[in-house]
Amino acid sequence: MNPNGKVTREQSSISSSRASRRMKPWLLLAPTLLVMLVTTVFPLAYSLMVSFTRYELAREMGWEFTGLINYRDAVGDQRFLASAIQTVQIIVPALVMSFVLGFSIALLLNRPFRWRGLFVSILAVPIMVAPTAGAMAFALMLTPKYGAVNDLLSILVGQRVLIDWLGSPGMAKLSVAAVQVWRWAPFHMLILLAGLQAIPDQLYEAARVDGATRVQLFGHITLPLLRWPALVGLLICFIDLVKIFDTVYVLTGGGPGTSTETLTFYTYHIGLRFFHVGYGAALSFYVLGTVLLLSVLLVQVFRWRKEGVV
């Protein structure tokens, strides 16, 4: 301002330029924010609102605000609770086995040899196969009488093998978990292989000079440096596994009985098959909450480990 209290042209120009600078990032972000608002924030907010209503999409009954009743009903829904337990029973072994298998393969491949690139590409094929197509192939392979798995076992043991892979609750869960291991082990392999190759050779050489054994090299260099790639891989895999649907849908249909019915499979039936969308939305928020909670917890555990708290 000049002494008369009026804004000079120069001051006005500076102010305008500052405002422009402040706006620029928002303008650049605007398209992304808009897309996110439309595709993520709005549906999420809308489904949250629906979860507080009694809303039967297939019937002309209209909406009815019911507050937390859907959330209360879900807690008392035995089938929903059972599906939560079954989800854990399927995904925990799948997560552990796929990680162990992927890590083992990554260690085997972490040395130069001929055709290594080809091997890695072939082993990564399951990631590229559509989950439904993979599940359908397994459904055929696991057929007791005509399936490839029993045929192979029959050749190996020299007598007719007729294992009903999907016939009992335990075997069916195992089979669903096995399909997930087939799908996710290559993913862990790729991430961990990249992590292994990023570890500088000098670290190993220095440790060897100090007389470190192979076990010590693995325990004190390889494992700590793979912590973050492993965490990222486990997190992505875990979040996807909690949502497990396609394999169950194609392979077992939730059976035998309801023994392989998972959270998302049950939620799908409630919300999208029978159109109880209010209740279905409430169930899906429980699933979302569980995923968020466990993901945060997992990250926190790794942070505590890094800081030496645990």
Partner 1 sequence: MRQESGMPRMMDRREFLRIVAGAMALGVAGDWQARALPVHAAAKKNFGGQTIRVAASTEYYAVAFRIFSKQVEQEYGVKVIPDVIPATDAYTRVMLEFTTRASSYDIVMFSPQWLADYAPHLEPLKPIAEAAGLDLSLGDVLPAFRDMYSTWAGTLYAMPFDGDMHILYYNKAAFEKTEYQKRFRDKYGYPLVPPQTWEQYRDMAEFFSGWDWFGDGQKHYGASDGYRPGRTGFWWFMGRFANYGGVYFDEEMRPLINSANGLKALQNMVDIFSFAPPGSTTFGYTEVENALVKGDVALSTNWTSVARVAEDPSRSKVVGKIGYAMLPGTMIAGKLHRVGSLASGWSLAIPKYSKNKEAALHALELYTRPDVSLKISLNPATGVDYTRRSSVDSSEARTAWPNAPGFLEVIKASVDVGFPAPLIPGAEEYMKVCGDAMASAVAKTKGVKQALDDAAHEWNRITDRLGRDNQKRLWKAQYDAMKQRGLVYKPLL
Q: Where does this chain bind partner 1 (CB under 8 A)?
A: 56-61, 78-79, 143-145, 162-164, 166-169, 172, 252-259, 269, 272-276
Residue 262 to residue 245: CA distance in whole angstroms:
7
Q: What tokens appear for 120 in the block?
A: 């890695």
Give 12 or 168: the residue with its C-beta nearer to partner 1.
168
- Backbone torsions φ then ψ of 163, nearest 5 degrees: -85, 130
* Alpha-helical segments (H) within 37-167: 42-50, 69-75, 78-109, 116-123, 125-128, 131-141, 148-157
Give 55 or 103: the residue with its C-beta nearer to partner 1.
55
In the complex, the smallest distance separating the C-beta of residue 152 from partner 1, rounded to whole angstroms, is: 16
Q: Are 277 and 55 in contact (CB under 8 A)?
A: yes
In the complex, the smallest distance separating the C-beta of residue 189 from partner 1, rounded to whole angstroms, is: 31
In the complex, the smallest distance separating the C-beta of residue 164 from partner 1, rounded to whole angstroms, is: 5
Q: Are 106 and 198 in contact (CB under 8 A)?
A: no
Give 151 or 231: the residue with its C-beta nearer to partner 1.
151
Give 114 or 145: the residue with its C-beta nearer to partner 1.
145
Residue 297 to residue 36: CA distance in whole angstroms:
26
In the complex, the smallest distance separating the C-beta of residue 210 from partner 1, rounded to whole angstroms, is: 57
The length of the chain in residues reads 310
- DSSP letter (8 states) at residue 295: H
In the complex, the smallest distance separating the C-beta of residue 65 from partner 1, rounded to whole angstroms, is: 16
Number of C-beta neighbours around residue 80 at 10 A: 21
Give 60 or 210: the residue with its C-beta nearer to partner 1.
60
Residue 107 to residue 192: CA distance in whole angstroms:
8
In the complex, the smallest distance separating the C-beta of residue 247 from partner 1, rounded to whole angstroms, is: 14
Number of C-beta neighbours around residue 181 at 10 A: 20
Give 83 or 180: the residue with its C-beta nearer to partner 1.
83
